[in-house]
Structure 1
């Protein structure tokens, strides 16, 4: 593992310019905050425009002659048409501004979409209605214009709210690094300094339980270092003089003197930050369904509208009649319902997912999850609980399992090591009491020693037995080690009494999750920084055929790429810092809710209940959401496609002509149907 870490550093640093960690992180945070703030500002802008426009739409509706004839009332008064014109002009320019601006952007990029379609409809309605005010004969479209703008503002506001939740992953990664270090000068004096002032060659002291502030080499001391958050290795690694220490990892029970080797931009954690940054930047935003539908409807509206105008003129109709037909066709081609078809489904599916304990942070990737064909699971903390449990107790003497556990557990209760916690938990499970040792000491990197109930007890590693030339059953030990289990030996009064094997416990729900995924045609993979034996053992228990073990964080995102190259759309499920680049690189990143903040911030969906069984639920929900969206788009656009020929006057000879008023009623009806259909997603 050490050797690989080193290679990883070399491989990643070759092409990087060096820059201080503080400078690097603050510029990133600044970029992130500015984009986050911009997004929030846009949501507020749509909300404000919607409320103001809807307030002004009320008098527009009351002043509209068409609405008055509907209600069978007459509220006409001198110059009412000019007041109607002024109010509608305000709604057109103020409420319609985002769509007019959006249309210009879309047309500049030569990709007309939703904005261009809306802009076409409101501009045609506004210009035509203005001509009516100033002398052209016909019926104005001001109320159509105002309600269309209101509904589109509402749709975009709903949509943007559900896409909000920009990622703070980079800030969370930076937070993992300590900001201060205990620097030791030439005279041996200790001074607390900001990490940013450290230079390669400086010496820093790392006390027990502290985070290592920089990447460096151990000069003095020996300790077990927990690198689980960074590398995925579930067992703390024993490190001594000459070994490499990674910044951000947690020191165990021993004090260490570390020589600074890499700072700022060069550190291992900074490389992980860079990988996340790159992967996030390269994620393309898929053009959503309704945008694609809008693009085609724009062309339909343009061709049908101009065609209608020319045909009627050719058939000898008056200019005002041909214009009215053209405008009716163009306004009807822009469905009110289309603006709500996707956002309403999105809002309903977001509510459903929240109830099920799924927090969706990136709508675009969640909506695309219906395409997922492979799910890659991290092992430690995702498929397993990330905590040790006793799996085997092999006795070497006349002691019972309970007696052996009690002696070992009473010593282990004094330690904070993950293995100690596993043994103590087994005592609790068996309702065994802990005896307070009369004497206790930690044998750094080897185990524990103490006096329990008058007996001298040692709980030690295989290395200690080899050092002391104590013989033990190699085949039993090897069998357990091959399953990736950690084995400790219990020595009582200098006599080996037995061995206790522990491993990371598999989550009960993981098996069900994998069976469920298989049912819906999704392949499962396992990816872990842990050793091969431990990974294969868990893979066998869960029936996962493809297991990638001893994979470093930068290699995790490479593995995701590798699976993608098979033509599979990939979801990644993980919980650690080491998973962040892979979560960012995958088509759908799923974070376990109990995981690190970094993994959570990089993910598209968070499983609040930390239950792998929720992974198939995400895919099912996304598939249902996609189906509903497609249905809604057909409803929304279908009405319009069917009514365009009627609006154009194809059945004029049969006495059937779709008036703007009837067109408007049909529009409202399609909007209601779309809203009801979105709600049916709950069922």
Structure 2
């Protein structure tokens, strides 16, 4: 990786490892920021979704901060390096992920802990039973002693106990994969079965992650279709971050090319379409051209309060229309969240967006609580605070900015279409971008743990009844003495029972309501 450094000799490409704080660097459209810094001159639009989760790219002007790893979508600027190498925001995120993963305690295997005690206890019981039969048993005492010791050891063979957990895990993980949930390890299933709080990232998780046209308002003599078509004609020649959304929403475009196209940094674009000069951009653009947009001021304020980005279309005389762009909810989000509510989970939205934007989305989706305006470091801290309150937390996210929180949470769930860092950090990955998979994953975890407990309980009941009978406790009352052959059959039957019970998970269907 290289960076364009500006010095007394001009512009020089330098290896990233040699960039030092206070150096002056240049960025142009399409560049990825090499180090953290502060803008000295110029203007540009930056895609910072990987760090902030904000879908709408941000305009940067002199004095603003830029971050390593973010992308220049449009513009050119010079900035002063402030943090390099392991001191950049991106490097700190990676370090946070490592810390969270290394500090998380491993959940011990219940069956292993039991077996560590069970085996020596059974051996002791077998020896004690053999001793009793040798001392007070009928003739021939040695023969009876050997039969009793053998029968106890056979019937107490911890096959069912050893199969109880792994068979449930194998079946549960396999069924989860069929439901679209990739489980990294068995511990994730156990932790997921105990959670009571689900934290969602907003952008790309609850929402689509890309702006879309939500409203088109007209103020002049044009209709909705004409406003959209004209805006799309302008954006055809633009690198503006919102151009794709407008082009996607526009009807068929005419083949007539735009003329005199120019980008007005941080404000919008202008061009001549069908012999008419049009402007498309923000309020600052219309202020600069002295165009009256008071008729739209109330609508602009309303959209701003909803977290929607308004783009204004005008000619050289008057305002023609307003196009509202918004990162909308995924189609299934509301229904999936209602389903999780009905299951008793507390739902929280965690986002780097402004509070107003987050509140509007939360109200629409049916979220209980909003934690807004947090950076990646803050997301992990927010999860830790919930855990300190005694909550068991699932974090659902998709971006690099979510990685520390995914690692910090009791269970991290990554959206399948998310970044590689998020997928690698999370304990579970959704193989399709559908929030119903979150409910399916938690239901599958609960079913798997219930199945484990059933298997363990069955193994305990079998041993609790089988060992005393094998030791001969019924002999003084009924003359019944268990044969080693029968004990072997009982031991095999207990294993078959455990395996059969685990296989029931392969037919498990999560309740949709």
State the TM-score, normalized to the length of structure 1. Answer: 0.70
The residue number in structure 2 matching 1:593 is 416
Q: Which residue matches 2:426?
A: 603
User: Between Structure 1 and Structure 2, which shows a larger proportion of helix residues?
Assistant: 1
Contact 2:350 / 2:372 at 8 angstroms: preserved in 1? yes
Give the whole-Å Cα distance in 2 for the aligned partners of 1:651 and 1:598: 62
- The structural deviation recorded for 1:638 is 2.5
Q: Which has the higher contact order (CA 8 A, sep 6+)?
A: 2
In structure 2, which of residues 470, 485, 488 is the aligned counterpart of residue 664 of structure 1? 488
**Equivalent residue, structure 1, for 2:6:** 184
**Among candidates 571, 588, 606, match of residue 394 of structure 2:** 571
- Separation in structure 1 between the aligned mates of residue 308 and residue 425 of structure 2, nearest angstrom: 31
- Take 2:11 and 2:301, find their aligned partners in 1: how far apart are those partners? 47
Q: Superposed, which structure 2 residues align to 1:602-641 within 5 Å?
A: 602-641=425-464
Looking at structure 1, the residues matched to 318 and 283 of structure 2 have their Cα atoms a distance apart, in angstroms, of 15
Tell me the equivalent position of 2:104.
283
Compute the displacement of 1:567 (Å): 2.2
SS at the partner of 2:501?
A: helix
How much does 1:680 deviate?
Answer: 1.3
Cα distance in 2 for partners of 1:574, 1:312 equals 64
Deviation at 1:387? 1.0
SS at match of 1:222: strand
Distance 1:320 1:219, change over 3 A: farther
Structure with greater proportional strand content: 2
Query: Would you say the 8 A contact 2:126–2:153 is kept in 1?
Result: yes
Of 71, 76, 80, the residue aligned with 1:250 is 71
Partner secondary structure for residue 505 of structure 1:
coil
Matched, 1:308 2:129: yes
Report what 2:510 is aligned to.
none
Q: 1:431 to 1:292 in 2, by over 3 A?
A: farther
Verify: 1:530 aligned to 2:353, yes or no: yes
Partner of 2:258: 437
2:198 alignment partner, SS class: strand
Question: Does the 8 A contact of 1:530 with 1:549 survive in 2?
Answer: yes
- The TM-score normalised by the length of structure 2 is 0.93
- Pairing 1:170-249 to 2, within 5 Å after superposition: 179-191=1-13, 193-249=14-70
Residues 441 and 332 of structure 1, relative CA distance in 2, 3 Å threshold: same
The alpha-carbon deviation at position 226 of structure 1 amounts to: 1.1
Q: How big is the shift at 1:180?
A: 2.1
Q: Secondary structure at the match of 2:193?
A: helix
Partner of 1:463 in structure 2? Answer: 284
Name the structure 2 match of 1:354.
177
User: Where do 5+ consecutive residues of structure 2 fail to align?
Assistant: 508-513
Partner of 1:673: 497
Does 2:162 match 1:339?
A: yes
What SS does the aligned partner of 2:222 have? coil
| Displacement of 1:600 | 0.8
* 8 Å contact from structure 2 (residues 157, 491) kept in 1: no
In terms of mean alpha carbon deviation, does 444-453 or 417-426 score higher? Answer: 417-426
Secondary structure of residue in 2 paired with 1:253: strand
d(CA) in 1 for partners of 2:497 and 2:254? 65
Distance 1:496 1:338, change over 3 A: same
- Offset, 1:391: 1.6
Distance 1:282 1:416 in 2: 44
- What are the superposed Cα offsets for residues 337-392 of structure 1, whole Å, 9 maximum, x if unpaired? 22222212211222212122211113211232111211111000010001111122
CA deviations on 1:377-411 (whole Å, 9 max, x unpaired) are: 10000100011111222221111011111111111
CA contact (8 A) 2:211 2:242 kept: yes
* Alignment CA distance shift 1:435-1:326 (3 Å): farther
Shift, 1:299, TM fit: 5.9
Aligned equivalents of 1:364 and 1:211: distance in 2? 38
Contact 2:122 2:153 in 1 (8 A): yes
What SS does the corresponding residue of 1:442 show, helix, strand or coil?
A: strand
Give CA-to-partner distance per residue, 1:425-475, whole Å, 9 cap, x none: 111xx5565753233222121111111122111111122234444332322
SS, match of residue 398 in structure 1: coil
SS in structure 1 at match of 2:155: helix
1:397 alignment partner in structure 2: 220
Cα separation, 1, equivalents of 2:11 and 2:300: 46
The equivalent of 1:269 in structure 2 is 90
Separation in structure 1 between the aligned mates of residue 231 and residue 366 of structure 2, nearest angstrom = 33
2:189 alignment partner in structure 1? 366
Secondary structure in structure 2 of the residue aligned to 1:556: helix
SS at match of 1:645: helix
Do 1:406 and 1:432's aligned partners in 2 also have CA atoms closer than 8 Å?
A: yes
Structure 2 distance, partners of 1:249, 1:418, is 14
Partner SS state of residue 672, structure 1 = helix
Q: Residue 332 of structure 2 aligns with which residue?
A: 509
CA contact (8 A) 1:411 1:437 kept: yes
Residues 56 and 211, structure 2, Cα contact 8 Å, conserved in 1: no
Q: Distance in 1 between matches of 2:58 and 2:114?
A: 56
Per the alignment, residue 511 of structure 2 pairs with none
Distance between the aligned counterparts of 1:434 and 1:660, measured in 2?
Answer: 90
Deviation at 1:478, TM superposition (A): 0.8
Q: Deviations over 1:202-225 (max 9, x none)?
A: 232222111101111222321011
Deviation at residue 538 of structure 1 after TM alignment: 0.6
SS in 1 for 2:182: strand
| Per-residue Cα deviation, 1:586-629 (whole angstroms, up to 9, x for no partner) | 11101111111111111111111111111111111111111111
Please state whether the residue corresponding to 2:74 is helix, strand or coil. coil
State whether residues 439 and 450 of structure 1, in contact with CA within 8 Å, keep that contact through their aligned partners in structure 2: yes
Counterparts of 1:640 and 1:673 in 2: how far apart (Å)? 14
Task: Give the equivalent residue in structure 2 for 1:490.
Answer: 313
Structure 1 range deviating more: 481-490 or 227-236: 227-236
* CA positional deviation for 1:661: 2.9
- Asked if 2 retains the 8 angstrom alpha-carbon contact of 1:591 and 1:607, the reply is yes
Q: Distance in 2 between matches of 1:227 and 1:497?
A: 31
